[in-house]
Structure 1
Amino acid sequence: MTAGGMKAGGMFELIRLTIRNPLGGWLVLAARNWTLADRWGLVFATAAASAILSWLGAQLLPASGGEAGLLAVLAASPMSMAGVQVASAALGAFLLSEVGRVFGGTGRFPDALLAVGWIEAIMVAFQVVQLLATLILPPLGALVGIASLLLAAYLMVGLTMAVHGFRNPLLVVMGILGTVMLASFLLSVLAATLNLFPGGPA
């Protein structure tokens, strides 16, 4: 049994439903008895699972010296990776709820947190598939990775519409892109101000 009273078999069935029909999947998901603690638990659990899978992938498929970067550093430290993912999920849920409400949406932060956590859960499932595919045939793993990114974007648009009751997917896409660009710019300015970039001036 998982958070929200969901059994493992039901979870995979709900994943399939969400991929086929994000609104239908959201209605089933949101109808379950999710407390706020359950929603946070989903975020923490998916972050932990993703961090462990990233670490496992780094051990089984070590990157060459030229490919080592921030992601490789985080993958080597599951706790750091999980912390970054939880923070990213919390920020994403906050932006999803507040920006959506600015444009007339009806979703609240707990709804956005559940939506983000559920997207992460689906991505963890695909991360397992990608790791297995990469071990068997690396090019296939790369294709699964690309498909996962496209699926994540599709689910973000679909679940944003479901959470806020939006009807126009094009406007949602534009809103998400604008929010991501603005948030990235502000975070970059903050990082530069605090000298968080590696190799930056002391």
Structure 2
Amino acid sequence: MKAGDLGEMMVLTLRDPDRALDVLRGLDLPMAARWMVLLLAVTLSTLLAGLSLLLFPIEVDNPVSRMLSEPLTLAGIQFGAMVMSALFVAQIGRLFGGQGDFPDALLAIGWVELMLVGLQAVQVVMMVVFPATATLLSMVAFGLFLYLAVTMTKALHGFTSTPKVVLGLIGSLFLLGFVLSLIAAAFGIVPEVAP
């Protein structure tokens, strides 16, 4: 794939997620390459997060923000969260009659994250040039994430009902959040609550 192909693939993903996923599947990437897509997305995202922290330092006043300001920790958390997301998307989708599997879910999530990294790069530049646009771009990024999560999950499993996929994703996010909070509590990473 060349740089121009990546741009066309991004547009295709936004316009027709089913065809985009077919193209991704058609690449017939081995499992190692799918892991590398995810690792590349995490690495680029972590580098951009580090750059934005250098440009706009934030006050580190609790264990969570301290942890997220460490690049390797942030990368590990992102990588783990994406792998768990791929596992949840594959397994929960199959519970509801979907056809997707973990390797394709991993590829889809890696691709979605790469698209979001592109938007994150634009956001860092815009924060420098037009700081007032940062909040707007954050909302656009969140909206794009939701859209891509729903449409790519539908494409992955062959689902036709958008509301059911939305409900399934919301339930999965709550479940993922619960699991991550248990892991955080096990490692003693619990935000302090003011009395």
TM-score (norm 1): 0.88
Shift of 1:188: 2.4
For 1:124, the aligned partner's letter is: V
Q: 1:74/1:10 Cα in 2 relative to 1: closer, same or farther (>3 Å)?
A: farther
Q: How many residues align?
A: 193
Other-structure match for 1:33: 28
Residue identity over aligned pairs, in percent, reads 34
Other-structure match for 2:44: 49
SS at match of 1:104: coil
Question: Residues 108-119 of structure 1 correspond to what in structure 2 (within 5 A)?
Answer: 108-119=101-112
Q: Is the 8 A contact 1:51 1:75 kept in 2?
A: no
Q: Is the 8 A contact 1:18 1:25 kept in 2?
A: yes
For 1:27, the aligned partner's letter is: D
Cα displacement string for residues 64-120 of structure 1 (whole angstroms, at most 9, x for unaligned residues): x3x755664345322221111110110000000000000000101001000110110
Q: Is the 8 A contact 1:55 1:75 kept in 2?
A: no
In structure 2, what is the Cα distance between the partners aligned to 1:191 and 1:91? 15
Question: Residues 138-157 of structure 1 correspond to what in structure 2 (within 5 A)?
Answer: 138-157=131-150
In structure 1, what is the Cα distance between the partners aligned to 2:50 and 2:178? 29
Consecutive unaligned residues of structure 1, counting only runs of 5 or more, are 1-5
Consecutive unaligned residues of structure 2, counting only runs of 5 or more, are none
Q: 1:146/1:41 Cα in 2 relative to 1: closer, same or farther (>3 Å)?
A: same
**Which of 15, 22, 30 is residue 20 of structure 1 equivalent to?**
15
Other-structure match for 2:161: 168
Other-structure match for 1:3: none
Shift of 1:191: 3.4
Shift of 1:127: 0.3
Other-structure match for 1:61: 56
Q: Is the 8 A contact 2:153 2:165 kept in 1?
A: yes
Q: Is the 8 A contact 1:17 1:25 kept in 2?
A: yes
In structure 1, what is the Cα distance between the partners aligned to 2:23 and 2:5? 11
In structure 2, what is the Cα distance between the partners aligned to 1:132 and 1:70? 28
In structure 1, what is the Cα distance between the partners aligned to 2:44 and 2:150? 24
**Which of 73, 78, 81 is residue 88 of structure 1 equivalent to?**
81
Shift of 1:178: 1.0
TM-score (norm 2): 0.91
Larger RCO: Structure 1 or Structure 2 (Cα < 8 Å, ≥ 6 residues apart)?
A: 2
Other-structure match for 1:158: 151
In structure 1, what is the Cα distance between the partners aligned to 2:119 and 2:99? 30
